[in-house]
Amino acid sequence: MSSKEKLLEVKNLKQHFKTGRHSTVKAVDGVSFDIYKGETFGLVGESGCGKSTTGRTIIRLYDATDGDVKFKGKDVHGKKSKTNLKEFNRKMQMIFQDPYASLNPRMTVKDIISEGLDIHGLVSTDKERTDRVHNLLETVGLNKEHANRYPHEFSGGQRQRIGIARALAVEPEFIIADEPISALDVSIQAQVVNLMKDLQKQHELTYLFIAHDLSMVKYISDRIAVMYFGKIVELADSDELYRNPLHPYTKSLLSAIPLPDPDYERNRTRIVYDPSKHDTSEEPEFREIRPNHWVLCTTKELEAYKQEINN
């Protein structure tokens, strides 16, 4: 992490969807966290836990039901002038999960990448536009000959690189990567993650990295928040979360990670999370168990977690 300057502040964020006259899905239900400039903040959980909805609400693809999101100290969901909204859209970009669906099949790669350049008036001539596209393609490991091709001519990994180039084109400060590798072959996933790490150093980027694969999130993230049914249940530094997981759901996710060790795999015990075993005597709160290690728990569970750490 390069600094302790808060770039993004999320407080009590809620995103509820009405699914009928009398029913509501609480996709995101009171989520709070900060992201510091220069870090990668991992948000993990199983499908349907609300992590992608959290990312899409932060970037204003959805209007928040309640709560506050501040980017560089300014309210994200408040009313904005066209100029302010345009500047916000430039500083915060998104890389989507599906590289097949997120690229317009009727547009050339050059037009896809330069769309943001045109909207924000970042180039003044066609030559400058072409040069910027060629530079961006080389930055993400492609070459300038790819500029005049169409998305269907590329592999999944190459399409995701095009998506990354499109996000980088407007020189953002913050990128939300919504499961950017889940649709890719395992052999390609590491390449894309390594590319993102290199780009982070070169361009001083800050990431919100959303995924369900805890092992890959550990590799790229400085801190990790674990999400379950619309709530963050544990948040800690990446190494700390792996060494000392406390919430039973986090332990369940970690127990599912395979290792390339036959002896370990033969004896690996999968922990099954049972939410019914939680203390129900009071409403759980997000509490700091040890420095920078937070868990959603009741007072009774807090004492049990502290005892577990001391043992």
Q: What is the largest CA-CA distance in the chain?
A: 67
pLDDT confidence tier of residue 201, bands split at 50, 70 and 90: very high
- When mean pLDDT is compared across 15-24, 38-47, 125-134, 203-212, the lowest value belongs to 15-24
Instruction: Return the CATH number of the domain spanning residue range 6-244.
Output: 3.40.50.300
Q: What is the mean pLDDT of the chain?
A: 92
- For the chain, the residue count is 311
Dist CA 223 CA 41 (whole Å):
5
Q: At residue 101, does pLDDT exceed 90? A: no
Average pLDDT over residues 20-45: 94
Task: Please give the pLDDT value at position 259.
Answer: 79
pTM of the complete model beyond 0.85:
yes
pLDDT at position 1 over 60:
no
CA-CA-CA-CA torsion for 30, 89, 17, 226, nearest 10 degrees?
-40
Q: 222 in helix, strand or coil?
A: coil
Average pLDDT over residues 204-211: 96
The pLDDT score that the predictor gives to residue 309 is: 87
Spatial neighbors of 15 by CB under 8 A, at least 6 apart, are 27, 28, 50, 53, 54, 57, 62, 64, 65
Residues of the chain with CATH 3.40.50.300: 6-244
